[in-house]
Structure 1
Amino acid sequence: MRGMTSNLSIGQRVAWYRRRRGMSQDVLAGLVGRTTDWLSKAENDRITLDRLSVIKSLANALDVSLGDLLAEPQLFEWTDESGDRTIPALRAAITDYRQLSPMAELIVNAEPPSLTALTSAIDEVWRAYQGAKYSYAIRVLPGLIGEAHHAARVGAGDTRLSALGVLGQVYHAAASILTKVGEADLAWIAAERGLTFARESGDQLITASLLRCVTHALLANGRYAAAKQLTVDAAELLSPGLPLATPELLSVYGTLYLAGAMAAARDEDREATRAFLAEAWESAARLGRDANYVWTAFGPTNVRIHEVATAIELGDTQVAVNVGPRLDTSGLPIERRARHGLAVAHAYSLRNRTDDALTALLEAEAIAPEQVRHHYLSRQLTMSWIRRQKGKPGFQLASLARRLNIV
């Protein structure tokens, strides 16, 4: 179905799916608690659908996924770093039944790499993720998944437990990158599988890290209430270790609450959003600085970034405009800086400051072209700006549209 809605705005996709369902505007508007006039304007782009909570309610009423309304799946471009085996190869590795079957133990393989080598390879994937170099990570992950499974199969005793922890981390990295490129369903499978292996390993820190990974996967799939509840449940599980928490555990714990805050904001739960951000601030204060323990990029600046992001989700766009552009994110990984740039562009656009919004988006693209190209918000913002133009779009906007493959 999605291929038939290429280059449509979110509002136009709503209209397309509504007609496919044989549903009138009156009925759909009633299901989401809006007026028919509001829905008509949304479908005709006279009202911009810019809050995920509203889009999710429309998706639920139409019985489609959030991804169906948000964005088209884009062909992952081949590059020197990706080679010619991309998302399908990673999907095949994650869903390979031989990795999970008892018969896998009978498969003859070469000597597995050492756990030290595997850990080093995972670190390279995380560096690629934080550098918004997804092509490289997607190329190496299928082989890395197979090697980690092999190490876990042949290991014994403590070595096997360590290998299971490594395997959980591989799936965590895969889930994080898949979320970034819009493969939310596959990210969920990877996150859930990674949590299973992390628990088997008995390593508290790896398990905590995978719990936040599952929370992000739930968030990407539009399961906001479930993500909120997992935040609470995971925090309770981790709380006994907090009085003597290491910087690593503090970072994972704080990042878990940041994911929960985003889920709460998208669920339009202001009280939970404030509570989760307060918990994250407490962890950031204890940590005392911006850091990158367990590849979290956690610290005071990341909490402020999430304050801006949650303000946008809750409709407090002026707060986001006042605070977001002034944040100094230069000390954070590229992925965090670019994601904040997208949020600033979104906030400016909501205030009809299109020139400022375009500048913010272009600045994000300059440091993280792959990230901007694969994020649904880049495409939706650019399409909305083009539709606002009375004449032909300017050179910068037209060039951006071509790079995003918007016809």
Structure 2
Amino acid sequence: MTETFGARLRAHRERAGKTRSVLGGLVGRSADWVKALENGRLLTPRLPMLMRLAEVLDISDLAELTGEQAMPVASVTRAGHPAVERVAAAMQRSNLPAGDPTSADLLRGRVDQAWTLWHRSTTERSAVAAVLPDLLDEARVSVRRLDGTARRAALVELARVYHLAQLYVANQPYPELVWLAADRAMQAAQDADDPAAIAVAAWYYAHVYRSSAQVDAAEQVLTDAAVLLDPATGTEVAARWGQLQLGLALGHAKIGRAGQAWRAWDLADETAGRLGAGYVHPWLMFGTTAVDAYGVTVEVDLVRPGEAVRRADQVHYSALPSRTRRATHLVDAARAHLLRREEVATVHLLGRALRESVDTVRHRPDARVAVIELSGRQGTIGEDARELALAIGIGG
């Protein structure tokens, strides 16, 4: 007997550890709606809703839900960047390039410049793709040919380059590259024997674990890194410790642990408060505004869209000196409004995010799915959503 759509949906929902109310909330529907789908009392949803269900349940191919012809979810929700093959080749190169090492101070300056490109460009992937391959080679040569303290400093910079590489390849149809970047960054940080570098590597590794539904593994890597830091020892260490608390909050929220999520968020908020309202980490962007914005993300993942919208209304996005981060958090605010079926606000916020960073919106699966869904609406909403679709490379 052929397995029904409803049976497949239920199996994937239970595998993901989500209740009917949580799954329904994350796609803007009720627990009864999910139950009706699972029991076969409703027809299989149309493509935009199938895509939303697949994203929430971490399903890579719609055939796993529908039982019909294979259709990779990534082919719709994840856009590949034109330069990804060149970046991938640099990441996967096994031989050491020729050349002399760069001093640790000069290497640090060049890595800082690359991070500035990431945060200030409206097309950050194109901007960093132009420098990443050479920067990876330069950092690897320096690590191999420097000694002692200089080598450890170069290892810290190599980890930061791999963090950038992870951000570049994220939300593209190449998950193996994301894992490779996270693993290489953590290895470099550990080889440097630098707790602050390990903390940042843990923050980025946790993103990979959460995206593959390994929330407990994400929690473990963050917790292991946090015990290495004493936030009372200085601003830099405090910022990184606070960032780890945000990572814990995001993981707990993803699987509905509201109390634990808000306890971790509170620790991040208290840390940011001690650093001062005007403090923003120069490349991690940790600070009061970032913590406030992640509060919106936590509420969305906990399926509390009303609270998410309330928090989003209070976030001063312009205080974040990063186009990519402003765009990211504006997409999360749009998600909150979409859960409330406030489609005008959703389109408006996606448009704001697009003006901040075309690449961020183009490569955010939830943004792409929202645009696809809203493109089918009648009137101004549909017209505006179709314009957004064209801008981010959907349709034509």
Report the TM range for the smaller structure's normalisation.
0.7 to 0.9
Q: 2: CA distance between counterparts of 1:61 and 1:267?
A: 25
Deviation at 1:294, TM superposition (A): 5.2
Percent identity over the alignment? 24
Query: In the alignment, which of 136, 145, 149 is matched to residue 145 of structure 1?
Result: 136
Q: 1:179 is matched with which residue: 167, 170, 182?
A: 170
Question: Are residues 1:301 and 2:292 paired?
Answer: no
What is the identity, as a one-letter code, of the residue corresponding to 2:357? A
Offset of 1:326 from its aligned partner? 3.1
Matches within 5 A, 1:5-404: 23-31=3-11, 32-33=13-14, 37-39=36-38, 43-44=45-46, 54-56=56-58, 62=64, 69=73, 71-77=76-82, 86-99=83-96, 109-132=98-121, 133-179=124-170, 183-238=174-229, 241-244=230-233, 246-293=234-281, 295-332=283-320, 333-387=322-376, 389-390=377-378, 394-404=382-392
Give the structure-1-normalised TM-score: 0.80
Contact kept, 8 Å, 1:122 with 1:173, in 2: the verdict is: no
Give the superposition deviation at 1:171: 1.2
Superposed CA RMSD:
2.9
**CA 1:95–1:331 in structure 2 vs 1: closer, same or farther (change >3 Å)?**
same
Number of residue equivalences:
363
How big is each residue's C-alpha offset from its partner over 1:293-329, in whole Å with a ceiling of 9 and x where there is no partner?
A: 2512111221111111110111100111122133212
For the Cα contact (< 8 Å) 1:42–1:49, is it kept in 2?
Answer: no
Residues 371, 324 of structure 1: alpha-carbon distance in 2 compared, 3 angstrom cutoff: same
Tell me: CA distance 1:36–1:270, structure 2 relative to 1, closer, same or farther (3 Å).
Answer: closer
- Give the distance between the partners of 1:225 and 1:52, measured in 2 at CA: 21
**1:145 positional shift:** 0.7
Whether the 8 Å CA contact 1:162–1:201 is kept in 2: the answer is: yes
1:342-368 C-alpha deviation (Å, 9 max, x unpaired):
111111111111111111111111121
Shift of 1:93: 1.3
Match of 1:298, SS state, is coil
Which residue identity does 1:157 align to in structure 2?
Answer: G
- Partner secondary structure for residue 370 of structure 1: helix
Moved more, 29-38 or 394-403: 29-38
Change (3 A) 1:296 1:364: same
Q: C-alpha displacement at 1:49, in angstroms?
A: 6.9
What secondary structure does 1:289 align onto?
Answer: coil
Secondary structure of 2:213's partner? coil
AA at the equivalent of 1:199 = Q
Amino acid of the structure 1 residue aligned with 2:95: R
After superposition, give the CA deviation of every residue in 1:220-265 in whole Å (9 maximum; x if it has no partner).
Answer: 3332221122222222232xx2332x11111111111112211211
Aligned AA (2:331) = L
Q: Evaluate the alpha carbon distance shift between residue 229 and residue 49 of structure 1 in structure 2; reply closer, same or farther with a 3 A threshold.
A: farther
In structure 2, give the amino acid aligned to 1:137: V
What SS does structure 1 have at the residue aligned with 2:338?
A: helix
Deviation at 1:111, TM superposition (A): 1.9
Q: Is residue 338–residue 371 contact of structure 1 (8 Å, CA) maintained in 2?
A: yes
Work out whether residues 341 and 363 of structure 1, in 8 Å CA contact, stay in contact via their aligned partners in 2: yes
Provide the C-alpha distance between the structure 2 equivalents of 1:404 and 1:140, rounded to a whole number of angstroms. Answer: 23
Identify if the C-alpha distance between structure 1 residues 380 and 61 changes in structure 2 by more than 3 Å, giving closer, same or farther: closer
Deviation per CA, 1:141-180, whole angstroms, max 9, x where unpaired? Answer: 1111111111111112222222222222211221233226
> Which SS does the other structure have where 1:291 is aligned?
coil
- Distance in 1 between residues matched to 2:364 and 2:386, nearest whole Å: 18
Report the Cα offset of residue 289 of structure 1.
Answer: 2.3
Using the TM superposition, give the Cα deviation of residue 26 of structure 1 relative to its aligned residue in structure 2, in angstroms: 4.1
Q: TM-score, normalised by structure 2?
A: 0.82
Aligned-partner Cα distance in 1 for 2:80–2:59: 28
Please state whether the residue corresponding to 1:237 is helix, strand or coil: coil
Match of 1:80 in 2: none
